[in-house]
Amino acid sequence: MRYGWPLGVILMDIDEFKAVNDVYGHDIGDRVLKMVAQTLLKSSRAFDVVGRWGGEEFISLAPNLKRDELHSLGNRFRILVEQSSLQVGSEVVRVTISVGATLARSDDTVDSLLSRVDRLMYQSKTAGRNHVSADP
């Protein structure tokens, strides 16, 4: 707010992560979480903040971008996670993410902003997963 820069918030959830734990076990599930985290960190801009939000959710705070750039960043995350893989014996484990993205508004509270981005992420789940939903 101090500099008048827009702030993008991107919430990402690993699709069907429970199945990864059920099929491969929690150790492999932990390795998948680390793989996704590294993918997101390496594909972020230097001044973005990316972290694990909880469970199999990750969040990115991305300052100083426009609405179309926000959608592009969310889509870049989605594509790069989809293309990442983890070798487990003779098998290759891949996951996808559902993404919600929004820009903070001047009247937002932390709760309203997080609620909106959460709703958008669940829209991506409803749309079939491995999808980006952003404010129009």
CA distance 116 to 103: 10
CA distance 61 to 132: 16
**Coil/strand/helix, residue 134:** strand
Specify whether 16 is catalytic: no
List the catalytic residue out of 16, 56, 69, 82: 56
* Tokens found for residue 92: 């290759």
CA distance 24 to 18: 10
Strand 132-134, strand 97-103: pairing = parallel
Query: Catalytic positions, please?
Result: 56
